[in-house]
Amino acid sequence: MAPAQIITVSGLPGSGTSTACGQLCTRLGWAYVDAGQIFRQLARESGLSLAEFGQRAEADARIDRQLDGRMVARAQAEAPIVLEGRLTGWMAHRHDLAAFKVWLAAAAEIRAQRVGDREAKSAAHALAEMRAREASEARRYLEHHDIPLGDLGIYDLVVDTESLDARAVVDHIVDGLGAQ
């Protein structure tokens, strides 16, 4: 069987998804779509902060469905492609896309330090914001999609990024893709 032409990379904030996806796309020469960037753009277009738009998305399932529709259409039109986003693995699973689904994991404190460094804020402040955002997203995903975010059973590969640099994470993904 030929390797998948779609790779989904999911994980919580600070787990390394953006860094890994950038290096993965460079290495493979594949197209790249980031669900978070699309979501942030929709928030800006609505004149809302990310938190406010997230609250709106909690109340309006159409926002996530619209985002999913855009991601599926891009995946089908632009493969080979890497899709990054919290639900891209689930989206591929539910839409029967032939995708290699990856989840990147790291402890909350490590993720908070990474986010704090990236956004020039304290790790404690980043952790508080992350927990609020993750709680909002978990409610939304469960209520609108019946997806328990902690259920990693649909993923083909789970990589603990705590002690790995981005190159090693990408090596794991490429090795997993080749082993399909």
Residue 113: phi, psi to the nearest 5? -65, -45
Give Dmax over CA atoms of the chain in angstroms. 47
* 3-state SS assignment for residue 128: helix
Does residue 131 carry a pLDDT above 90? yes
Provide the β-strand partners of residue 7. 82, 100
pLDDT digit string, tens, across residues 37-82: 888 888 898 899 988 988 898 888 888 888 888 888 889 899 999 9
Domains of the chain by start residue, with CATH = 6-174 (3.40.50.300)
Kindly write down the DSSP assignment for every residue of 86-126, as one continuous string.
TTHHHHHHHTT--EEEEEEE--HHHHHHHHHHHHTS-HHHH
- 32: Cβ–Cβ under 8 A, 6 or more apart, which residues? 21, 22, 25, 81, 82, 84
Choice between 166 and 59, residue whose per-residue pLDDT is larger: 166
pLDDT (0 to 100) of residue 156: 97
Query: What's the whole-model pTM score?
Result: 0.89
